[in-house]
Structure formats: structure tokens, C-alpha cells
Amino acid sequence: MRIVEKSCPQEKYSAKCPYTRTPRFVVVHNTGNDAPAENEAAYMQRREEEVSFHFAVDEDKAVQCLPLDRNAWASGDGRGPGNMYGIHVEICRSLSGGERFTKAEQNAARLTAGLLKRYGWGPGQVKKHQDFDGKYCPHRTLDLGWQRFLNLVKAELERLNKKEEPKLTEAQVKEIARKEAQAVFAGEFARRNPTYDTLEQAPEYWREEIRLLLDQGVLKGSGKGAGGAVRLDLTRSEAKAAVLVARALKSRET
Ligand SMILES: [Zn+2]
């Protein structure tokens, strides 16, 4: 389903959506006529009356016609919670019903699930116009069964969540664990066997021997490092071996 933006001209904000707010739930409506979503949106924006909604949905698209961080005049409760905090979704083609309406409702369920996901809401944050002023709206959705519509939303929400977190096979889980273990081991190994670039980085108790080996040209390092000093490029395990050899040779001399 496509979501098309048809922004409300700013000069109409004072009539259509004067208050900024953070939305708290979705409110579902039926338009009560057979017009497609584009027409519903255009008609709403054209008129001067304080009547408005955020989305009109038909069998092939959702048209967003107000910013979601602004209120709408849709649920007949004045400055009550419905108008002030709802994201109002009008389901089109509700007068005659039939296949177009069925598809529009399915699209509305998909749109609603997307909004729940986006705001981190649950199915409890899907309301009907009727909840706020008692009007029998969304009329055809109510005729067909409100719980049925909520189930459509839940199914769409599950589908969205599944899409994001594909189920892993046991082999994939083991592969991830193996890579994790490798990374930990590599880190641990580097920590236990650091590379010394300067004599000062080597442990003090080995420096004398390392200096001697450098002087004798046994250790050559790998070129000049910062400040012209020899770059040792010696791992801890190499340094240890070199020192042990140097000490062994020294004890033979004496
Ligand atoms: Zn309504």
C-alpha cells in the first residue's frame, strides 16, 4: 500500500489543526460515502470548516493530509482527548461497502499497525470514533465487527515485527556464537600479547636485556619510529623469548 502525502496548506492550520501535540493513539473512522481517498483529502482541505483528519485510506493507498504532531477535528469531542491526541484514520468507500471497502479496511489495518510500531504502541491504542462522542462511527467496520478489525491490525503488526526479526535457524545461531567467541578470543589474545614499539613500553625487568640485544644488532626492530628511535615491533612473547636467550648466553659467558 502506498502512502501519499498531501500536505495541508499552512494557512489552513488555524482551521484544520491549530494545536501541536504528541499523538497518543489511533482513532478509526468510516467516511460514510463512496469517494476515493484523494477526493476525501482534497475536499477536507478545501473547506473552511473545522473538520479534519490525518489519513484517508482507500483500496489502493493512504493519503496523509495533516501532520501527525498536530491535532485534528474529527471525533466530536471538542478539545477532548480524541481530537487532541488521536491520529485520525478515515476508511473510505464505506457507504456501499463491498470489495473496495474490504480492501480499504485491510489497508487501514496495515497503516494502523505501522503507526503502532512507529510509536511503540499496542493494540489497546486503537480507538474508534464512537469511544469519544458516542457517534456510530466507523459504521460499517462496527457492523462487520470491531474485534475483527482489531484482529486485522494485530495480524499486520505481527507481520511487521516478523519482517524485522527473521527467525534464526539453529545453524545460524551457532555461527553467530562461534564468531562472537572468535572475536572475544582475538581481543583476549591481543591483550595478553601486546606489541611493544618502544623500549619504555616493554616491562622494566626486561629492558636491560632488550637494550643489549639492540646494541648487539640481534634485535633490529622495524625502522625508525617517532622521534627517530628504533621501532621495536616486538610482541610480548617474542620479547620474553629474546630475553630468556640473552640471559642464557650471559650465564654461559660468566
Ligand atoms: Zn468518525
Domain assignment present for residue 152? The answer is: yes
Total number of domains constituting the chain? 2
Q: Give the cell for residue 37.
A: 481517498
Report the separation in Å between the CA atom of 119 and the middle of ligand 1, taken as the mean of its atom positions. Answer: 22
Residues 6+ apart with CB under 8 A from 107: 1, 57, 58, 59, 60, 61, 62
- Please report, for the domain that includes residue 70, its CATH number: 3.40.80.10
- Please check whether residues 148 and 22 belong to one and the same domain: yes
Domain assignment present for residue 179? The answer is: no
Q: Where are the alpha helices (DSSP H) in the chain?
A: 13-16, 37-46, 81-85, 99-119, 130-133, 139-144, 146-164, 170-192, 204-215, 236-253
Expressed as residue numbers, the domain containing 238 is 192-253
Domain assignment present for residue 185? The answer is: no
The three-class DSSP label of residue 45 is: helix
- Please check whether residues 24 and 100 belong to one and the same domain: yes
Domain assignment present for residue 177? The answer is: no
Rg (CA), the chain: 35
pTM score: 0.67
- Please check whether residues 114 and 7 belong to one and the same domain: yes
Report the separation in Å between the CA atom of 165 and the middle of ligand 1, taken as the mean of its atom positions. Answer: 35
CA distance 52 to 88: 8
Report the separation in Å between the CA atom of 43 and the middle of ligand 1, taken as the mean of its atom positions. Answer: 16
Domain assignment present for residue 175? The answer is: no
Domain assignment present for residue 184? The answer is: no
- Please check whether residues 10 and 109 belong to one and the same domain: yes
- pLDDT (tens, 9 = 90+) of the chain, 254 residues, equals 899 999 999 999 999 999 999 999 999 999 999 999 999 999 999 999 999 999 999 999 999 999 999 999 999 999 999 999 999 999 999 999 999 999 999 999 999 999 999 999 999 999 999 999 999 999 999 999 999 999 999 999 999 988 766 677 888 878 888 887 888 888 888 888 888 888 888 999 888 888 888 888 888 887 776 666 778 888 888 888 888 888 887 777 65
Domain assignment present for residue 173? The answer is: no
Domain assignment present for residue 180? The answer is: no
CA distance 94 to 75: 17
- Please check whether residues 240 and 152 belong to one and the same domain: no
Report the separation in Å between the CA atom of 139 and the middle of ligand 1, taken as the mean of its atom positions. Answer: 8
- Please check whether residues 74 and 133 belong to one and the same domain: yes
Q: Give the cell for residue 128.
A: 474508534
Report the separation in Å between the CA atom of 127 and the middle of ligand 1, taken as the mean of its atom positions. Answer: 11
- Please check whether residues 228 and 158 belong to one and the same domain: no
